[in-house]
Structure 1
């Protein structure tokens, strides 16, 4: 039958060919047809005749090869060798010419030896993509023509040697870079195989040699480009019929296919089309004339379920366009039940041996109770690591056998490596696990369960200590060394069991992809996103466009070192990835920022915080106080420390950002004393207040201490006061003065007038009860009634001084408030320390953050007067003021800047202050700054007002000044106080009026 078919082809060719010969443009094509037809029909004489005519008129290597094939078929080996040699002269890497020459010369050892310089490079060039060329190389070694040969495979150097006793070395610049271990060839016991992975710094950049027993292998040195890591790409163009939407070209259709290596365009590239039964068809794309022209596309008919793979690297052929143009319909989702699939855990490995070892140890421990095999397979892919310690670790895992170990032929980069892993088993789901991620417990079971909670879920990412939008406990990310993964993962499993939340994108450190999603959306875009960053975001956005959900598994927390894979390159890679994502998905960043602003994971993080806090024991005492700064915060911090020292758990409730009448939403934050990492106990808006109370109850709160009510809405205050017994500590006069410090619009003590005057003051000057709200519209009488009720309900209202208690009692007569005087814990006050007898200037210390109520205007007036009258007087501001500039411009004020609470006394002493001055114009309730000046051994001047006056009288130190005293009189008094302390300026320039 075959003979009859060939005869028919021959007859047809004869009939058509002689007619075609009359047309010059079709003459060569007709002659080729005649050669093939006569050769196929066994008419070798006629085939030789047409082949001779064919090569007379053309300069095409393939025509010369065709003549050589005819000669080889006729047994004319010398003629055939001449044809193939001539073809190699025309195209030095043509695989058919190389194989033909080998076959023609294989019977003559001498002739074969003479042709090795041309033959070996041509066979080696094509061995990666042409099995016949590889077999010819093996034949050269097995026949003794050469002791060894090498060829490149995706940048890696593969070698074949004649005997196990040889020594193979990789040489660069005269130095031995590597020595290969030879292993017996299972197909031919007389041969051995060896492999070199060219170091990353040399690959593609330097010529290298391979020696066997000290002698260069034929074809050395290898051109630098041959060891360049590949960047394999493929393009599919539909010619006919329809294809099922998806990544791989599916459905019965004609396709134009082209594959190439973007890193080395001259390199031939093989592409395997693998069907569902594992049957493979290989396409080889070979640039013509040693890369002078690109390879030609090939037309193929592709059936259902075919996957394109690059055999050299194991990568799937990424289809650049993703889904086919115009085919954007979402694939139908199968029901959730029965969709559980086996899972491949893919771990790319490259650098940081210590972190990688920890990752693999945690992974192996977590697999102890998992059926490994048909259900779960760990696949470790070594991406040509440059670190010998990483290579040794990979070898160790391979020896232990608990994971499948694959080794890339060269450094493919992260994205291509995971693509290779995802293409291994087309029926399995995948988990991409970074080599700097730490898993725990039954993480995989929980992750897989999350993936199948809904048919439309395509990707799942767990929480982590460092995973951008999925970070916990700090939403900005936490160092792995600062948390316990088993502890946090256990919290998540307990507090958020079975919970998932939609997210705009997954995060690649631990990334579960369902296979049906992967089939629909396509593999990662290795060409666009290079070695890493942005590839999973691009995938998630493509998945989202096709109707898939990206979710976070809230009941899992996987540890993450964060950025270990790229080290110092991380910031640059992120910036580059965002730029690429903006080009491809213009709405991506806006969606992510909207997600962050909406903070939908706050309830989950808050639940974890509550669970964490409960492990610390009952938090029985609730302290209510906004962050105010100054003495109030200092006292609260001290009280927290005291309670914790007694074994009492403390929760601090901080109102922050509470709205004004314009409708701004309120927010409060809980701080667990001793657990500063808990940052998500935040409650937004009035609707969250029930959650707040429920969480406080869960934490074990049994009593409350109210320190301040600024920013606390009446509803919350009533809910808290009605639930637990409480004390109130008085730090200022917010309880009856909405301006808090009894200072009116002139920034002076108001004298505590009748309520009608207070109403006018608030109306004209505003109040400070809400953040950012200086408007009036707050009836003072109403405010005082509500505060009177709050104070009357307290078990104790604790005042630090008698002066404070008297003022409060005067404002709330007959209200039943249980007042108690309890001074703040105080420092030891030493005697006044001696100072130099005749300093050039009397240096007066003013301590603290000096605003209007604290006497900024008084200090500025005194400094200006000292300059105007040339007084021997200067001021040392230990701290800062609301506006340092005019103070400094006087030339009589020095400013130290912000200080820690325990630094003030040392700063006063270090700057050798002679006196202290407390310019505060409101009746202080205690004044820590007075304490610090007294503790520094200074005599202090202050206005005869409030706690400052009471305490100075008690200590008998300093001078009390009438409130409202002018700046010149104040300066004169300060110089008088200096004289009383024995401090006399050298100029003795004290005015007589003092």
Structure 2
């Protein structure tokens, strides 16, 4: 019966694999189907890597009890098993690399551990005479060093076997000559080795150690944040003292081997693995078969430069070693893959990163935002990247994964130490503990849409100063675009607002006054409220008159806005051209003009016109098919691709169709940067950002499709064909004497808002 069940599982998974990879249906439908099957009949899939990967991505295997693993360890030295009487032979095989070898040996001699040790240096017939002389001189100065010299080059495997055979009682550490150690590294490795029964090998974290690499499996060439080996090892100790993870194999750059395991398993297999690579994996697999375990010491970090001695021949040896290991131990590669998917050491890597951030001198800012991307995410990313020399930022949001699992998300943006952590809880106490572990300086609320934890509680528990940015009108109305149907709602009285929200009770709102009151605390207590345009500030000030507002454009300078700049490039079609090219930028959704464009194109297809519309972006919502003679689209793009996409289409006019009052508009910034003629609604941030600009038109906010088409055809005939300059658009602010800042304001003033309240 067991055999038939197993056979059925294999058959079912094979059929499912073919369907999933070859059936011509959308990825969304495939994901939904996979989620349903994995949740309904998990017993059929639990052994597959696809299921394990799905579990990992959705954090189903992580319980609330496991969440403290991301927080600093509470284990103390008093809790650890003592193994003081065990002596250790530190064996360093040496062939090339004078400076790397010096760094390695000096790091061992300068470490502060209590373990009794002997440092065995084995010169494997090095071709570098300076290296040989250095080793000989060193033994004169240090009695704890034993130097052996091979008369011929034996290679790594035979050389370390020679060292391991010098004692029949000492534990051993195999240490590559291009590593650097620090602090109590040896004490920690030895303590791990005797913390549980039958621990055969222990490997520390490193920047270059395959499955034991940090900050992820790919590792990094240099230690992040320019930290010393001593500092980063200390941070690992503080974060993860006493923590370990069982691994499929130890890694030979720094491998602690218990003598009992060595006696039971035997030395490395020189005959098979020759001069090196794969011998430690073979040893660990032989140990595993004899019920010994391999551990990753999560509280220890050793720097590893990598392949100094064998860099010319390492790749062929690696390939041959992999083939041998795969043949001898058929399940080994699957075990490594499963380990990589489950990644049980991930919490300890992140705990170490959080401790590194805590000890960094730069202020740490917690940014709260939604998970929908768009302009909010773009501004946050710009802010984080531009201020990273002054401050570090941790981003937190709540989101629903592709498989419908609600998670809290904490993200750190960095080229090396960046991480993206999702965990299945909105418990304010845990979130507070996690965030407080970096010793934050303040909080920046960018958005609270979809947030499943109480931001006010978080601020109060952390007792930190905070600021806010108004990226849309979420705090004024749960319909945060301020649109009713296809048009701007014009912000009517509360009674009319209540009639509007009663249609669907967006975000649970039932009364507009209660909605605004629920966020009044933030406006009353924030150090300041950043508004990205004068128009945005004016709207918010009507509802929260006592708040301290600061107006800061999202872009860097006046030149980026093209205010008072020289005349922009005019792309006038020649008489031979058939089309007047009009570009629309960004995702097209209802409040961005989806329906008005659809109606306009419906009219256009029945008349003869030179107009051609091209959407640089994607469509979200019901759409019709139109001839490519009047409409084309590029599809979704990445922000950095937009300038080239504009150049490729080479539009005569860039048209903005937004039906809501934009607070800023990054796509407008791109249009301005390209120096193109622009037409936009006289609403939101458009008028103030386009005031006084040549070859620019503003049209009524709630214009109909027919009137807009007539408007475009008119400027085509009156201005583009005749090259007659249009009247410059003007703007008058409803707020007098407001100070306007640009993005550079953040460089000088941003961090001042997060000083201790007593300092302000």
Change (3 A) 1:858 1:346: farther
CA contact (8 A) 1:888 1:894 kept: no
The counterpart of 1:940, out of the listed 678, 689, 706, is: 678
Partner of 2:432, secondary structure, is: helix
Question: Normalising to structure 1: TM-score of the pair?
Answer: 0.53
Shift of residue 594, structure 1, vs aligned partner: 4.6
Residue in 2 aligned with 1:235? none
Shift of residue 513, structure 1, vs aligned partner: 0.3
The counterpart of 1:881, out of the listed 598, 611, 618, is: 618
CA contact (8 A) 2:111 2:182 kept: no
Change (3 A) 1:818 1:888: farther
Residue in 2 aligned with 1:842? 580
* Structure 1 residues not aligned, in runs of 5+: 1-334, 768-777, 987-994
Partner of 2:671, secondary structure, is: helix
Change (3 A) 1:380 1:595: same
Shift of residue 731, structure 1, vs aligned partner: 0.9
Q: Residue 345 in 1 paired to residue 80 in 2?
A: no
Change (3 A) 1:464 1:863: farther
Partner of 1:781, secondary structure, is: coil
Partner of 2:91, secondary structure, is: strand
Q: Residue 486 in 1 paired to residue 252 in 2?
A: no
Q: Distance in 2 between matches of 1:975 and 1:692?
A: 56
Q: Distance in 1 between matches of 2:288 and 2:512?
A: 53
Q: Residue 404 in 1 paired to residue 404 in 2?
A: no
The Cα offsets for residues 446-486 of structure 1, whole Å up to 9 and x where unpaired, read as: 43344344453321111111222322234531013765442
Q: Distance in 2 between matches of 1:469 and 1:922?
A: 51
The Cα offsets for residues 290-339 of structure 1, whole Å up to 9 and x where unpaired, read as: xxxxxxxxxxxxxxxxxxxxxxxxxxxxxxxxxxxxxxxxxxxxx97667
Partner of 1:418, secondary structure, is: helix
Change (3 A) 1:343 1:787: farther
CA contact (8 A) 1:346 1:381 kept: no
CA contact (8 A) 1:736 1:780 kept: no
Q: Distance in 2 between matches of 1:864 and 1:541?
A: 69
Shift of residue 832, structure 1, vs aligned partner: 4.4
Partner of 1:367, secondary structure, is: helix
Q: Residue 651 in 1 paired to residue 393 in 2?
A: yes
Aligned length: 618
CA contact (8 A) 1:381 1:408 kept: no
Aligned 1:30-41 pairs, distance under 5 A: none
Aligned 1:346-745 pairs, distance under 5 A: 346-350=91-95, 353-354=96-97, 357-367=99-109, 375-382=117-124, 388-389=127-128, 393-394=131-132, 396-398=134-136, 400-401=138-139, 403-407=146-150, 409=152, 411=154, 413-480=155-222, 483-492=226-235, 495-496=238-239, 498-504=241-247, 505-526=249-270, 529=273, 532-564=276-308, 567=311, 580-581=324-325, 583-585=327-329, 587-617=331-361, 619=363, 621-626=365-370, 628-637=372-381, 639-640=383-384, 649-655=391-397, 657-658=399-400, 664-671=406-413, 677-679=416-418, 682=421, 684-686=423-425, 690-697=429-436, 699-715=438-454, 718-720=457-459, 723-735=463-475, 741=481
CA contact (8 A) 1:842 1:975 kept: no
Shift of residue 501, structure 1, vs aligned partner: 0.4
The Cα offsets for residues 824-863 of structure 1, whole Å up to 9 and x where unpaired, read as: 2553422543636663353434344555643466557767
The Cα offsets for residues 99-118 of structure 1, whole Å up to 9 and x where unpaired, read as: xxxxxxxxxxxxxxxxxxxx
Aligned 1:782-801 pairs, distance under 5 A: 788-794=517-523, 795=526, 796-801=528-533
Question: Normalising to structure 2: TM-score of the pair?
Answer: 0.67
Residue in 2 aligned with 1:818? 547
CA contact (8 A) 2:367 2:445 kept: yes
What root-mean-square deviation, in Å, do the aligned CA atoms of Structure 1 and Structure 2 show? 4.7
Change (3 A) 1:598 1:743: farther
Change (3 A) 1:378 1:750: farther
Shift of residue 706, structure 1, vs aligned partner: 0.7
The Cα offsets for residues 572-624 of structure 1, whole Å up to 9 and x where unpaired, read as: 76666556555554554454445444444344333432332233326264322
Partner of 1:981, secondary structure, is: helix
CA contact (8 A) 2:446 2:469 kept: yes
CA contact (8 A) 1:342 1:374 kept: yes
Change (3 A) 1:905 1:681: closer
Partner of 2:190, secondary structure, is: helix
- More relative contact order, 1 or 2 (CA 8 Å, 6+ apart): 2
Shift of residue 660, structure 1, vs aligned partner: 10
Partner of 1:793, secondary structure, is: helix
Shift of residue 519, structure 1, vs aligned partner: 1.0
* Structure 2 residues not aligned, in runs of 5+: 1-79, 140-144, 725-760
